[in-house]
Amino acid sequence: MKKTVLFFVGFCLTVNQFQAQVPSAAFTPIKDRLETWDEIRGAWLAMAIQAIAAKQAVPDRTFPEDFTPFEMISMIPFKERNELRQMMLNMQDPGSSTPAQQTDFDIFSALLQHTFCSLKYGRSFGDPHLKSYDRASYSFQTVGEFILSKNENGLFEVQTRQRAQDENFSLNSAVAMNVAGDRLCFYAAEKPDGIQQTPLRLNGQPIQLQGRSYYLPHGGVIRLDGRNYTIAWPTGETTVIDVRSSGSRGFVNITVGIFDCDRNAFEGLLGNNNGFADDDFNSRSNMPRPNNIAAISIASAYAFNSREAEQLNNMAQQEYQAYLAQNFAEDWRVTDNNTLFDYSPGFTTASYTDRSFPRIHMNVAQMNAQSRDRARQRCLQMGVPSDEMGGCIFDQGYLNIAPNLPPVPNIPNPTVTVLNKVERPALNNNAHSFAEGKYPSNRPETLDKPGSNSEKPNSTDKTNSVAKPVQSRESSSPKPGSTINSRPSTPSNSKPYTPATPKPAAPKPAAPRISTPTPKPSMPSSPKPSVKIGKG
């Protein structure tokens, strides 16, 4: 009887933050199996899967871990996961044929399959050098905002902003992401609202990480590890933002992790993940990729002297760089209709675009031989992999940017993680990370389809809430009906935010895991938003 009461309390704590969905007929037996596996964690996982399918915010966690839905599934023992996979194969798939209309059965099937797949990584680093998922690599010295990678399911997208360092070199200065319906941005340099205390913006509002983790409304998690931010999608993909600096200017290296089994499901600068490197930098326009590069490279091998060979290689590289900057770049430039970035008043994506950049296409072949050798030695000493060696030599030799090894994402390891039995549900959300007690506040607005008129008011729940993001005193709350391209209108001369005086201390909640900024007093309650995810 006591066990039943505890489970009922936990169920009520988690279900009161989102509109509970009736599981589909196909998902019902899976839901039962999850709850049998773990009465508290399994119940949350089932509801989270339903919320993702319904494009709603996931329920609050009632267990101590900071896992995403995918990470929780990966914690189920292999034998039980394999039984679930076999059970699903024997069932008729009721899902729609379009990724945008996936059911709870479809979502769980995709997440479960991911637990049997390996991760593979694409990179944009330094003066941006690209390494695709299929290990093709080349320099991309351009200025503008680009789609780095995007999944056709509408739950995953990463965009980058490349700013000029001087006339010929650019760096990644910002990242914008669609994390299963939450628009998350990181600004290494200038901030769109003048608030300098934090680089993060969630659905247009500043947030701060004062601890290890921050829960996103739709199931993603931000984790801070040293200077690296790992963004974990509820579906298992990751993006690591490595914060760096060059002189007085901040920039970031970006490492994106996806699953090998999601073949041909991606598009963008990092390729399509089809297992073939040769087509990763093909243009979608009528302009073909230069086809004389191989011929020039072969000719250089039979050149009369090393200087002639170097000149031939330099010609090939410059021609290819011009193609990338002009034709390939245009395929993936962000527009005002699909941008995920925030903008200061009067600014658009055109404000960050310079199609004449770079003035000169620089490459390693043009570098002073002594500088090139020193840079190569430094990169070798740091253990830089061969497919990133060219970019490392370039950055070290031209810009004195230290070698950067691909970072390891901060995600739990299922083989070493032990899940202790949860005796009773304990609320675990952003608001409950304070030792002083829980502070009710607002959920951020959610990402909506451009041009939609659906309302997205804030909602407040004093029982199960998410800490309110840090805001400027002059900034106003997003208006109902705003879309992902409707940015909060914040004056450029906004005053620095001053934290509000906290409420009296309350008893410390069980198993705190995360930390958030001290929130302001809560706003009046309003209806729960209906979440729509823009396809861009």
Is 356 within a domain?
Answer: no
* CB-CB contact of 344 with 192 (8 Å): yes
Band of the pLDDT at 4, cuts 50, 70, 90? very low
Tens digit of pLDDT for each residue in 247-273? 557 899 999 999 999 999 999 999 999
Dihedral pair phi/psi, residue 184, rounded to 5°: -115, 130
More confident residue, 107 or 495: 107
Q: Is the pLDDT of residue 510 over 70?
A: no
Is 48 within a domain?
Answer: yes
Per the structure, the count of domains in the chain is 1
Q: Is the pLDDT of residue 410 over 60?
A: yes
pLDDT in the model for residue 329: 87
Is 141 within a domain?
Answer: no
pLDDT in the model for residue 94: 57
Strands of 132-198, DSSP E: 137-139, 144-151, 156-164, 170-179, 182-187
pLDDT in the model for residue 495: 33
Is 70 within a domain?
Answer: yes
Is 302 within a domain?
Answer: no
How many angstroms separate the CA atoms of 42 and 129, rounded?
Answer: 42
Dihedral pair phi/psi, residue 130, rounded to 5°: -105, 135
pLDDT in the model for residue 12: 53
Q: Is the pLDDT of residue 146 over 50?
A: yes
More confident residue, 167 or 504: 167
pLDDT in the model for residue 314: 57
The percentage of residues in the chain with a pLDDT greater than 90, rounded to a whole number, is: 48
Is 23 within a domain?
Answer: yes
How many angstroms separate the CA atoms of 499 and 492, rounded?
Answer: 20
pLDDT in the model for residue 470: 42
Is 8 within a domain?
Answer: yes
The pLDDT of 367-394, averaged and rounded, is 89
Dihedral pair phi/psi, residue 271, rounded to 5°: 95, -175
Among 200-209, 212-221, 449-458, which stretch is predicted with the lowest mean pLDDT? 449-458
More confident residue, 83 or 525: 83
* CB-CB contact of 181 with 155 (8 Å): yes
Whole-number average pLDDT of the chain: 76
Q: Is the pLDDT of residue 469 over 50?
A: no
- Identify which of 52-66, 277-291, 486-500 has the greatest average pLDDT: 52-66
pLDDT in the model for residue 100: 64
Predicted TM-score (pTM) of this structure = 0.75
pLDDT in the model for residue 365: 73
Band of the pLDDT at 506, cuts 50, 70, 90? very low
Is 303 within a domain?
Answer: no
With a CB cutoff of 8 Å and minimum separation 6, the contacts of 294 are: none
More confident residue, 527 or 330: 330
* CB-CB contact of 467 with 516 (8 Å): yes
- Enclosing domain of residue 106: 2-116
pLDDT in the model for residue 21: 78
Band of the pLDDT at 521, cuts 50, 70, 90? very low
